[in-house]
């Protein structure tokens, strides 16, 4: 079973994952893996986190310090790139603000222990309800949730045949993740893959430098002109679907 774990934002649609499942199912069929509709599902936890913009003026003092530090770090990283916006100070600042402000719900997950525990529990319940090995696709914040939850719970991790991190912002939030789990620990899953769209604003291509336990890392150019939009295009661009499907096929048994 392929189980999706969504990222930041808010939606009341608990079937959000169907918009991802349909194009992926079609691409898997092209790669000779025919799956039934009931072999797809999703973990829903939008109701447990406050959503984007949470980082603006509503967090406790310690989180505000974290936010300021992240913005400075983001500006430095983006300014060092050879990219269409690397020399534009205003564009760099706008992008760095977007990275942090729009990922505000990640702070709630990482720094509010009750939220952290409730979201992880939701993931464990979804895994337990599966009648077959789980191929877990954690997108954006969902990649952080999947990694943290499975490192903390080896029994749940052993039910996961393949963990795929997709568009992971772990690079920006590794300090918060390290509050809960050892970044050098490998979750007890069968296969562990990172899929990174280079120039995605989440900076997922940096994940291998943080997580030594990866079995495989896949890099591809997703959108060199719009990093924010690129972060949202993994299931809508041919390159992204091909990369995800190829890794699912390799890990399928």
Mean pLDDT to the nearest integer, 185-196: 98
Is pLDDT at 158 greater than 50 in this prediction?
yes
User: In the chain, what's the furthest Cα-to-Cα distance?
Assistant: 52
Beta carbons of 138 and 146 less than 8 angstroms apart: yes
| Segments in 80-171 forming alpha helices (H) | 89-101, 104-111, 113-128, 141-152, 154-157
pLDDT category at 55 given cuts 50, 70, 90 is very low
Least confident span in 41-50, 119-128, 214-223:
41-50
Transcribe 145-206 into DSSP letters: HHHHHHHH-HHHHTTEEEEEEES--TTTTHHHHTTTS-TTPPPS-SEEEEEEEET-TT-GGG
If one counts every other C-beta atom within 10 angstroms of the C-beta of residue 29, the result is 12
Is pLDDT at 52 greater than 60 in this prediction?
no
Q: What pLDDT, on the 0 to 100 scale, is given for residue 175?
A: 86
Give percent above pLDDT 70 in the chain.
78
Cα-based angle 68, 84, 82 (whole degrees, multiple of 5): 75
State both tokens at 11: 């939606």
Q: What pLDDT, on the 0 to 100 scale, is given for residue 56?
A: 44
Q: What pLDDT, on the 0 to 100 scale, is given for residue 172?
A: 83
Transcribe 177-191 into DSSP letters: HTTTS-TTPPPS-SE
Is pLDDT at 50 greater than 80 in this prediction?
no
Q: What pLDDT, on the 0 to 100 scale, is given for residue 196?
A: 97
pLDDT, tens only, 79-115: 554 444 444 455 555 655 555 555 567 777 888 888 8
Question: Domains of the chain (ranges plus CATH)?
Answer: 2-50+113-251 (3.40.50.1820)
Give percent above pLDDT 90 in the chain.
62
Coil, strand or helix: which one is 230? helix
If one counts every other C-beta atom within 10 angstroms of the C-beta of residue 179, the result is 11
pLDDT, tens only, 4-31: 999 987 789 999 999 999 999 999 999 9
Q: What pLDDT, on the 0 to 100 scale, is given for residue 84?
A: 47
Beta carbons of 204 and 196 less than 8 angstroms apart: yes
Beta carbons of 150 and 156 less than 8 angstroms apart: yes
pLDDT category at 227 given cuts 50, 70, 90 is confident
Q: What pLDDT, on the 0 to 100 scale, is given for residue 86?
A: 44
Q: What pLDDT, on the 0 to 100 scale, is given for residue 8?
A: 84
CA-wise closest residue to 166 among 78, 225, 243: 243
Is pLDDT at 120 greater than 60 in this prediction?
yes
Predicted model pTM: 0.84
CA atoms within 13 A on the CB side of 246: 12
Q: What pLDDT, on the 0 to 100 scale, is given for residue 90?
A: 58
State both tokens at 84: 């269409």
Is pLDDT at 133 greater than 70 in this prediction?
yes
E strand or H helix at 220: strand 216-221
How far, in Å, CA of 21 to CA of 2, rounded? Answer: 9
């Amino acid at each position: 079973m392929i189980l999706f774990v969504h990222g930041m934002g808010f939606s009341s649609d608990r079937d959000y994952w169907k918009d991802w499942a349909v194009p992926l199912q079609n691409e898997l069929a092209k790669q000779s893996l025919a799956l039934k509709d009931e072999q797809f599902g999703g973990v829903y936890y939008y109701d447990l986190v406050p959503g984007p913009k949470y980082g603006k003026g509503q967090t406790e003092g310690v989180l505000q310090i974290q936010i300021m530090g992240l913005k400075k770090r983001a500006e430095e990283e983006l300014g060092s790139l050879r990219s269409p916006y690397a020399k534009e100070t205003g564009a760099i600042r706008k992008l760095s603000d977007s990275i942090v402000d729009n990922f505000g719900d990640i702070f709630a997950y990482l720094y509010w222990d009750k939220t952290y525990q409730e979201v992880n529990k939701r993931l464990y319940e979804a895994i337990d309800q599966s009648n077959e090995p789980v191929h877990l696709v954690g997108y954006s914040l969902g990649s952080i949730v999947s990694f943290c939850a499975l490192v903390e719970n080896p029994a749940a991790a052993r039910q996961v045949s393949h963990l795929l991190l997709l568009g992971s912002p772990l690079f920006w939030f590794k300090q918060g993740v390290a509050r809960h789990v050892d970044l050098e620990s490998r979750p007890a899953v069968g296969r562990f893959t990172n899929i990174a769209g280079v120039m995605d604003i989440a900076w997922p291509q940096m994940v291998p430098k943080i997580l030594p336990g990866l079995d495989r890392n896949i890099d591809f150019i997703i959108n060199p002109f719009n990093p924010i939009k690129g972060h949202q295009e993994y299931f809508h661009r041919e390159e992204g679907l091909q990369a995800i499907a190829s890794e699912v096929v390799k890990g399928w048994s």
